Amino acid sequence: MTINCNGKLIDLSTPKVMGILNLTPDSFFDGGKYTSDLDILNQVEKMLGDGATFIDIGAYSSRPNAVHISEDEELKRLLPNIEIILKKFPKTLISADTFRSNVATESVNLGACMVNDISGGTLDENMFKAIGKLQVPYILMHLKGTPQNMQKNPTYDNVVRDVLNYFSEKVALLRKEKANDIILDVGFGFAKTLEHNYTLLKNLEHFSILELPILTGISRKSMLYKQLNTVANNALNATTVANTIALQKGTNILRVHDVKEAMEAIKVVGKIQ
């Protein structure tokens, strides 16, 4: 359970935290919050200080019904910020959150060490080939459709089995391209109903059959705050509960907005395990 990030071996047998940095004006929780260089650097410093191993930087909002932006706009938002972060914190392990192979390539060439693709290669047919060439860890997420239409009546015969089959097929294609260090993300909130999300969380341990690390990105999502009839701002406690369940079911990386609380969950669950 190790992955190679810029020549550094990261042991995932002890769960790690990935801090979220959204550079978008319209992300569901913190869109538009980090606009200046100082805001961005302060947030990165805070997340690293709180214990984040990775910083996941996204410049394309993937919330349901999000506005589609061009590749040029995504690059304009993303690349300068990767540059300023690595200039200030050169050892930062940056994950580029993108479904576009060219954006992934440009980001890695600039110093990112990982690619987080919400589409699992379905929105860019060149992504798997690019990952094979780049030889960086790749987060393979499950998604049906696009961010613009994914929540329009998502249906499955059996959501756990269907997502497992999806992963099996995608992993085989990635292996053909000589990709290493594949990480699985079931895609909570992406083309899933509330019931689908909770079924996947309840059965998360079944995905260990693929013998690959598991990333869980459940932080402040609607499956939590809708269950409580509240809003994302009030969903930190629910996030910690869900992260605790995910850790008990074998999650290796927690992708979160709130790093300190995720680290605390890892320490408490680790003591029990």
Across the chain, where does the E strand assignment appear? 2-5, 8-11, 16-22, 54-58, 93-97, 114-117, 138-141, 182-185, 215-216, 253-256
**Which of 241, 199, 234, 239 lies closest to 219 in space, CA to CA?**
239
CB atoms within 10 A of CB 15: 27
Q: Which residues are catalytic?
A: 221, 255
Q: String of b and e for 162-171 (b: at least 16 CB within 10 Å)?
A: ebbebbeebb
For residue 217, the one-letter residue type is G
236-248 and 259-272 helices, crossing angle to 10°: 40
What is the separation, in whole angstroms, between the first and last Cα of the chain?
17
Q: Is 218 helix (H, G, I), strand (E, B) or coil?
A: coil
Q: Rounded CA gap, 61 and 25, in Å?
A: 8
Separation of alpha carbons 113 and 124, rounded Å: 20
Give the HSE-up count for residue 262: Cα atoms under 13 Å, Cβ half-sphere.
32
